[in-house]
Structure 1
Amino acid sequence: MKELQDIAHMSDLLISMELGDESLFDWNVKLHQVDKDSVLWQDMKETNTEFILLNLTFPDNFPFSPPFMRVLSPRLENGYVLDGGAICMELLTPRGWSSAYTVEAVMRQFAASLVKGQGRICRKAGKSKKSFSRKEAEATFKSLVKTHEKYGWVTPPVSDG
């Protein structure tokens, strides 16, 4: 409830949210801004995309465990957004999570990682219309967490893909 009230009183319009399925544990969050010097911001302007829509599902023991967060729309490429809209960010894992994190802080970190990872709005014919799915996002997230637990959370050089 406190997180919900804090977002309602934000003055910088970075994010807005609404409850999904009328549950306090399911939020649809609109990220309205990314770095205005980024190619993603340029993409958003060129495609008249007002926001990036994310879904956050909170576990019963939140804030002691991280929410599951995924991108719903638009379809993004790079920016650490993977199949199904899964997001590759250590802070969204039990190991990287801190109960001190707020939804606003997570959104700011996500916006920064989108830009750092050179996220773009997908414009490929056919692919850009295909919706991200929750099932695909969950499977991708589980897989990436396993990989990172094995190899660590270092960011590979851009030359490595």
Structure 2
Amino acid sequence: NVKLHQVDKDSVLWQDMKETNTEFILLNLTFPDNFPFSPPFMRVLSPRLENGYVLDGGAICMELLTPAPSPTLTRVYVCLREAWSAQPWGQGRICRKAGKSKKSFSRKEAEATFKSLVKTHEKYGWVTPPVSDG
């Protein structure tokens, strides 16, 4: 696990972190057997974020984390640097809805969401797909 202590200080996420006394965003990385030829699976564990590039289960929508058409070496620090620079996570926010904000992201949900986003981006490329495609 990796603790991300700072995000873009001009972002709404940074403001949310200050207002909710959230010290860090906790990321989880899982490495495939063929790493570094395939990227790690990276997801947010806490706090629960909504909107932006963090999807159901804490899955992160980032091209670097998807299987590439041709294998390239993937370095951990590159993944973390890209996650850092993707801030403010597409205007993602800390969830403050009663009940939902305390619900933990699940790995199973993150993996299912990630597979879906990879499929969508394989079909449309790295653009915002039609709402009808989820």
TM-score after normalising by structure 2: 0.88
Q: Distance in 2 between matches of 1:121 and 1:84?
A: 14
Give the Å deviation of 1:116. 5.3
Larger radius of gyration: 1
Which residue, out of 64, 69, 74, partners 1:91? 64
CA contact (8 A) 1:31 1:107 kept: no
Number of paired residues?
A: 130
- Say whether 1:102 aligns with 2:75: yes
Q: State the one-letter code of the partner of 1:67.
A: P
Which runs of 5 or more structure 2 residues have no equivalent in the other structure?
A: 130-134
- Say whether 1:54 aligns with 2:27: yes
Which runs of 5 or more structure 1 residues have no equivalent in the other structure?
A: 1-27, 157-161
CA contact (8 A) 1:80 1:114 kept: no
Where 1:117 maps in the other structure, the secondary structure is: helix
CA contact (8 A) 2:53 2:90 kept: yes
Higher RCO by CA contacts (8 Å cutoff, separation 6 or greater): 2
Match of 2:117 in 1: 144
CA contact (8 A) 2:8 2:14 kept: yes
Match of 2:10 in 1: 37
Q: How does 1:19-30 map to 2 (within 5 A)?
A: 28-30=1-3
Give the Å deviation of 1:89. 0.6
CA contact (8 A) 1:79 1:116 kept: yes
Where 1:150 maps in the other structure, the secondary structure is: helix
CA contact (8 A) 1:78 1:120 kept: yes
Which residue, out of 113, 118, 127, partners 2:91? 118
Match of 2:132 in 1: none
